[in-house]
Homo-oligomer: A and B are copies of this chain.
Amino acid sequence: MKRANGRSACPVSFGLETFGDPWSLLVVRDVVYFGKHTFNEFLASDEAVSPSVLSARLEALTDAGILHRYPDPADRRRVRYDLTDRGLGLIPIMVEIAEWSAAHDPDTGAPADWIALVRDNKPEMVRRYTETVRRGGSVFVGEDSVLAQVEAGQLQAAGA
């Protein structure tokens, strides 16, 4: 993620400079899909980032205004990272990446019906992802997950 001569005015280039390294979007994914919020939770992800790299990434994302970093009031050893509004704005990008990968990775772990649900109800699903994560939930984990909302039948009506 080092561009030689600084910046170009191109918006694709700006985005890639901000979050276009191999790890940044995985952190965002951990927050959005799995409700992770702390250093060790990110560290335990399948992709095995090293602590120094993770530390640098979290600092960069915080500086870029994508994450909000604050000590956990309940346990002062812990530091929590939440997505800011700017970070929540990355959700549509992640959804498109997931859709592309699900279509082109023969070994994808993405459930086909979930991908189809998101594809066919994209604006509504992106809105639901965003609002759920904003209030502290996630897509797949927790009581108020988007998955739970869908299973409770709140979407079939809205979608089709």
Let me know if A152 is at the binding interface, CB within 8 A: no
Which residue from chain B places its CB closest to the CB of A20 in the assembled complex? B22
Complex interface: chain B residues within 8 A of A103 (CB): 89
Which residue from chain B places its CB closest to the CB of A29 in the assembled complex? B12
The size of the chain A interface, using a CB distance under 8 A, is 48
Let me know if A76 is at the binding interface, CB within 8 A: no
Complex interface: chain B residues within 8 A of A105 (CB): 11, 14
In the complex the two chains form, is A97's CB within 8 Å of B93's CB?
A: yes
Proximity string of chain A (97-111) to chain B, C-beta cutoff 8 Å, 1 when within and 0 when not: 111111111011110
Give the B-binding residues of A (Cβ under 8 A). 1-5, 7-18, 20-22, 25-26, 29, 33, 46-48, 65, 86, 89-90, 92-94, 96-105, 107-110
